[in-house]
Amino acid sequence: MTRLFALFQLGLALVLGAFPAPSHAAATAEGDARRTILFFGDSLTAGYGLENHLVDAFPGVLQAKIDREGLAYRVVNAGLSGDTTAGGLRRIDWVLRQPVDIFILELGGNDGLRGLPLATARANLEAIMQRVRARNPQVRIVLAGMQLPTSMGPYAEAFARLFPDLAAAAGVELIPFLLEGVGGVPELNLPDGIHPTVEGHRRIAEVVWPHLRPLLVARTADASPQLHPGTGNASVGR
């Protein structure tokens, strides 16, 4: 891991906790027959700093991909800037007021960068997934992994193992590193050097898509009757 990326990650610890995401009401259209993909995370999911985060943050980019392929899914962006696994656990029941078919869990990075106990972070992530499954037994879950600077020593090594170990234990799809090819790349981040630009979010969408698309195609093939896709995505926060 380069020194530049280490600086990026250390700065992330300070900034993600400083700026709350804007609050949005759920924008579910009445009679919308599409299935729901819910992205549940921090400012990376929320698209902090983007002029049009509903469109340009990576969940919105993925909605555009989904629409182009004619897949009957709508994306809900439940990103909250500065969120930790504990914060996610506190708000998950509110977010789950709507049915969810595919759940993308992007939390834990702030816990790690603040040096919080990894056993607690893992327990929180497990509890979030358990609540999602209890509310939606047929849900498919995707866990987005993060990494820490190697300068954090054994803690960083243990953190790196947290996501693959948890994904294997829970039987969920794993994205090994959400910021692959984006973290620490100046031209793909805003002037703060931390939050991805529009192009950075497009790159993140390309990282997520190979893990997400097979789930969509499989569920679309199983759907009966055939659903008809719509456009746009919703955002939900608190």
Return the active site residues. 43, 192, 195
CB 117 within 8 A of CB 78: no
Determine the Cα–Cα distance for residues 136 and 170; give it in Å rounded to an integer: 15
Nearest CA-CA partner of 104 in 63, 142, 69, 48: 142
Q: Which H/E stretch holds residue 142?
A: strand 140-144
CB 98 within 8 A of CB 63: no
> Is the alpha carbon torsion for 36, 171, 124, 161 positive or negative?
negative
Determine the Cα–Cα distance for residues 157 and 138; give it in Å rounded to an integer: 33
Torsion of CA 34, 238, 14, 177, to 10 degrees: -20
Q: Which two tokens stand for residue 107?
A: 């939390």
Count other Cβ atoms within 10 Å, centred on residue 95.
Answer: 23
**Residues whose CB is less than 8 angstroms from the CB of residue 56 and which lie 6 or more positions away in sequence, other chains included:** 47, 50, 198, 201
Nearest CA-CA partner of 4 in 184, 190, 196: 184
